[in-house]
């Protein structure tokens, strides 16, 4: 994440070529069957995940909150005709639902060194009740959030809930904010590579309502964003810091993705990423319903603090995570050595290890207890408000 609060990605598929690697053996028909089987499983898994996400979106939306789908009556139904639109027509439909988000966050330093940091991003209105979906990293730890609508009006907003695992947050505008036009949610599971898309957002935090267009470059790109494994839409529509949380729309004017990342290399252009609306919409619906997302891991269930090797005469023998309270599995004075096979020395290491798991899963945690290493089968607890 850079100073603008914008996430970048690490492409896991970019494996360096090894000249010394031996070519694989030719196993003939068996090898081909394995590949075909793997592809079928992958496709089936993607389809099932999309169906579950769509069902979850419908099931978790409260009855008093209307989230518009492509077959619903909508304030702009006369413009969303079910036929492909020109870029200007898409913008005329979609621009009303995209907002600018500005944040103020108090940063605490040493004596008299506290200061207020400002940030900016984008968001998309998804309900006439004033619910807006954006990225968690856009509003994370913000003390004040203000939203500027497409018509120029500015309203205060509060956080309804967040989900670190998908980088999704839902904020809600104050009740006095009027004239809201929610987006129509499309079906991201039906996208194909080469399909035309339009991105609308607030690049650089000062160019609200900026429109760029392009195509879907990939539909299931597996990347790592700030240690989080994600499956995202890839697009060549230009996105920049400040576009985070903005909308990616299809040629029918429907919202099919939430922009959240781009390539880090300054020599690379035309590589941006968006969270599929099948995922973002389902997460947003559950946050609106409950204020949180089920099955997420509580990173703070184990009480510990981080020991730094500040002085050679420190009373602590090791650098790392020092457990401070007993519970069913851990003991006070344990030092956490590793989790899920990965070395753990900082709170960030702990979070990075757990973030790609769900509550209820069991991982192995190795602690140093006295002079002996002890392996603990740790069932990950669920995080609730």
Confidence of residue 251 (pLDDT cuts 50, 70, 90): very high
**Domains detected in the chain:** 304-379 (2.30.42.10)
Q: Which two tokens stand for residue 356?
A: 């790609």
List beta partners, residue 258: 275
Catalytic residue among 167, 217, 338, 349: 167
Considering only 8-12, 272-276, 366-370, which range has the smallest mean pLDDT? 8-12
pLDDT of residue 29: 40
In order of 3, 27, 86, 156, 240, the CA distances from 103 in angstroms are: 14, 58, 34, 10, 18
pLDDT computed for residue 214 by the predictor: 95
Q: Report the percentage of the chain scoring pLDDT > 70.
A: 74
Identify the pLDDT of residue 19: 29
Q: How confident is the model at residue 106 (pLDDT cuts 50, 70, 90)?
A: confident
Average pLDDT across the chain, whole number: 80
Active site residue 74: no
Please count the other Cβ atoms lying within 10 Å of the Cβ belonging to residue 245.
32
Identify the top-confidence range among 22-36, 110-124, 350-364.
Answer: 350-364
pLDDT at 263 exceeding the cut of 80? no
The enclosing H or E element of 39 equals helix 28-60
The pLDDT, as a whole number, for residue 318 is 74
Beta strand 154-163 pairing with 115-125: unpaired
pLDDT in tens, 146-174: 999 999 999 999 999 999 999 999 999 98
What pLDDT does 67 receive? 74
Provide the total of helices (H) and of strands (E) in the chain, helices listed first: 5, 19
Give, for 274, the enclosing helix (H) or strand (E).
Answer: strand 272-276
Count of other CB atoms within 10 angstroms of residue 161: 21
Burial class (CB in 10 A: 0-12, 13-18, 19+), 261: buried
Per annotation, catalytic residue among 188, 244, 263, 338:
244
Active-site residue flag, 244: yes
Residues 6+ apart with CB under 8 A from 273: 9, 221, 223, 225, 232, 233, 234, 235, 259, 260, 261, 262
pLDDT for 110 equals 57
Q: Which residues pair with 247 in a beta bridge?
A: 200, 258
Quick check: is 187 catalytic?
no
pLDDT at position 153 is 92
> Which position among 137, 334, 338, 349 bears the catalytic label?
137
* Residue where the block lists tokens 């240690």: 227
3-state SS class at 110 = coil
């Amino acid at each position: 994440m850079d100073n603008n609060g914008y996430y970048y990605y690490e492409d896991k598929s970019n494996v360096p070529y090894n000249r010394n690697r031996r070519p694989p053996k030719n196993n003939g028909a068996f090898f081909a069957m394995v590949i075909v089987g793997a592809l079928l499983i992958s496709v089936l898994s993607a389809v099932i995940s999309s169906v579950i996400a769509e069902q979850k979106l419908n099931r978790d939306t409260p009855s008093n909150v209307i989230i518009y789908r492509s077959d619903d009556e909508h304030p702009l139904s006369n413009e969303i005709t079910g036929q492909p639109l020109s870029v200007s027509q898409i913008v005329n439909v979609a621009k009303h639902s995209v907002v600018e988000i500005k944040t103020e966050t108090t940063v605490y330093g040493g004596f008299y060194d506290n200061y207020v940091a400002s940030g900016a991003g984008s968001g998309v209105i998804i309900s006439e009740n004033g619910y807006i979906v954006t990225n968690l990293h856009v509003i994370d730890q913000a003390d004040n959030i203000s939203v500027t609508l497409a018509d120029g009006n500015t309203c205060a907003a509060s956080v309804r809930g967040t989900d670190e695992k998908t980088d999704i947050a839902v904020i809600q505008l104050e009740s006095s904010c009027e004239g809201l036009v929610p987006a129509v949610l499309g079906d991201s599971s039906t996208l194909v590579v080469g399909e035309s898309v339009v991105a609308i957002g607030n690049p650089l935090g000062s160019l609200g309502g900026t429109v760029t267009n392009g195509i879907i470059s990939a539909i299931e790109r597996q990347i790592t964003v700030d240690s989080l494994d994600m499956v995202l839409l890839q697009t060549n529509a230009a996105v920049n810091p400040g576009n985070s949380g903005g909308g990616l729309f299809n040629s029918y004017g429907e919202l099919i993705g939430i922009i959240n990342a781009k390539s880090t290399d300054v020599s690379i252009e035309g590589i941006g990423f968006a969270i599929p609306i099948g995922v973002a919409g389902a997460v947003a619906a559950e946050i609106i319903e409950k204020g949180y997302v089920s099955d997420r891991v509580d990173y703070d269930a184990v009480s510990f603090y981080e020991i730094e090797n500040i002085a050679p005469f420190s009373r602590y023998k090791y650098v790392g995570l020092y457990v401070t309270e007993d519970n069913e599995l851990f003991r006070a004075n344990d030092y956490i050595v590793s989790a899920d096979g990965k070395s753990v020395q900082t709170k960030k290491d702990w979070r990075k290890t757990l973030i790609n798991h769900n509550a209820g899963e069991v991982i192995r945690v190795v602690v140093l207890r006295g002079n002996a290493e002890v392996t603990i089968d740790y069932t990950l607890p669920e995080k609730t408000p």
